[in-house]
């Protein structure tokens, strides 16, 4: 199956700092990638749809100025959490879309803001 | 609104068969997918149905009826390692996930 990597796998940062998370499709090109966050024992919450070469589409309630998404190439999308606060602590996951709209997920990034 | 409904929990016995249903209500439809997620890990792709009928992949099968806006995931010969959460998802103009079904397997 297709491989998607995410970096870092976990990060601890201080309140007020910014964190960048990278999502890479390693063996295929993905025009569309999605970003999610997930709290323990809950479902995936879609944050935004990232299309290569265009602005991301954010879900209602997700602050686009706080969660900056850049999809500069067909294999890389980045999510930057700006001015992070403890309530931003979560599991952030990306997925890259295959030809049949199936989603290939990255391993996730666990963010802890202290 | 757009929504996917699936049971929150299902319990089955090792070696048995279990079916997880999913009904959806979306404005568009480009296929129904199923994903497995173990605690602490990211979801992994299991199967995809773009057309009506049954898709089989080893012990796992998935079914779709577009006229009924309904699909299911069938897991056969259950193993303890199948204990996980299972999500159905529909691709519309974005990806929409169900809330997940927690599968408990008893020895």
pLDDT in tens, B20-36: 999 999 888 889 999 99
B contacts of A102 (beta carbons < 8 Å): 31, 33, 45, 48
Chain A nearest-CA residue for B93: A49
Contact call for B43 and A105, based on CB within 8 A:
yes
The answer to whether residue A13 scores a pLDDT higher than 70 is yes
Q: Is the bond preceding residue A94 a cis peptide, omega within 30 degrees?
A: no
Q: Which residues contact B56 (CB under 8 A, 6 or more apart)?
A: none
Contact call for A46 and B100, based on CB within 8 A:
no
Instruction: Determine the Cα–Cα distance for residues A54 and A32; give it in Å rounded to an integer.
Output: 10
Chain A nearest-CA residue for B32: A102
At residue B84 the predicted structure's pLDDT band, cuts being 50, 70 and 90, is very high
Q: Would you state the pLDDT for residue B91? A: 87
Q: How far is B44 from chain A (nearest CA, A)?
A: 6
Q: Among A20-24, A70-74, A105-109, where is mean pLDDT lowest?
A: A70-74
Contact call for B33 and A44, based on CB within 8 A:
no
A43: nearest CB among B48, B91, B97: B97
The answer to whether residue A59 scores a pLDDT higher than 90 is yes
Q: Among A70-74, B77-81, B85-89, where is mean pLDDT lowest?
A: A70-74
At residue A1 the predicted structure's pLDDT band, cuts being 50, 70 and 90, is low
CA dihedral A31, A93, A9, A17 (to 10 degrees): 100
At residue A72 the predicted structure's pLDDT band, cuts being 50, 70 and 90, is confident
Instruction: Determine the Cα–Cα distance for residues A88 and A62; give it in Å rounded to an integer.
Output: 11
Interface residue A100 vs chain B (CB under 8 A): yes
Query: How far, in Å, are A69, B38, B41 from residue A61 at the CA level?
Result: 15, 28, 25
The answer to whether residue B1 scores a pLDDT higher than 80 is no
At residue A108 the predicted structure's pLDDT band, cuts being 50, 70 and 90, is very high
Instruction: Determine the Cα–Cα distance for residues B39 and B53; give it in Å rounded to an integer.
Output: 30
Instruction: Determine the Cα–Cα distance for residues A108 and B44; give it in Å rounded to an integer.
Output: 11
- What average pLDDT does range A23-32 have in this prediction? 92
A102: nearest CB among B41, B45, B87: B45
Per-residue model confidence as pLDDT tens digits over B26-79: 888 889 999 999 998 999 999 999 999 999 989 999 999 999 999 999 999 999
Q: SS3 letters for chain A?
A: CCCEEEECCEEEECCCCCEEEEEEECCCCCCEEEEEEECCCCCCEEEEEEECCCCCEECCCCCCCCEEEEEEECCEEEEEECCCCHHHCEEEEEEEECCCCCEEECCCEEEEEC
Q: Which residues contact A28 (CB under 8 A, 6 or more apart)?
A: A2, A96, A98
At residue A42 the predicted structure's pLDDT band, cuts being 50, 70 and 90, is confident
Q: Would you state the pLDDT for residue B87? A: 96
Q: Would you state the pLDDT for residue B83? A: 97
Size of interface A-B (CB pairs under 8 A): 57
Contact call for B42 and A105, based on CB within 8 A:
yes
- What average pLDDT does range A27-45 have in this prediction? 90
Mean pLDDT taken over chain A: 93
At residue A63 the predicted structure's pLDDT band, cuts being 50, 70 and 90, is very high
Interface residue A105 vs chain B (CB under 8 A): yes
């Amino acid at each position: 199956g297709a491989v998607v990597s995410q970096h870092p796998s976990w990060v601890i940062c201080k309140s007020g700092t910014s964190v960048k998370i990278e999502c890479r499709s390693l063996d295929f090109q993905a025009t569309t990638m999605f970003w999610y966050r997930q709290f323990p024992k809950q479902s995936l919450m879609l944050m935004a749809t990232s299309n290569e070469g265009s602005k991301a589409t954010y879900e209602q309630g997700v602050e686009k100025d706080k969660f900056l998404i850049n999809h500069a190439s067909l294999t890389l999308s980045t999510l930057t959490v700006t001015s992070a606060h403890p309530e931003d602590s979560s599991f952030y996951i990306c997925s890259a879309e295959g030809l049949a709209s199936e989603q290939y997920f990255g391993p996730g990034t666990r963010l802890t803001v202290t | 609104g757009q929504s996917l409904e699936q049971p929150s929990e299902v319990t089955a016995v090792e070696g048995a068969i279990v079916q997880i249903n999913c009904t959806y209500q979306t404005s568009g439809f480009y296929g129904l997918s199923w994903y497995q997620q173990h605690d602490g890990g990211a979801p992994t792709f299991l199967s995809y149905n773009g057309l009506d009928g049954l898709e089989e992949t080893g012990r796992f099968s998935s079914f779709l009826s577009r006229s009924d806006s309904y699909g299911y995931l069938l897991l056969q010969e259950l193993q303890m390692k199948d204990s996980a959460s299972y999500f159905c998802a529909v691709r519309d103009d974005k990806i929409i996930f169900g809330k997940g079904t927690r599968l408990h397997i008893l020895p």
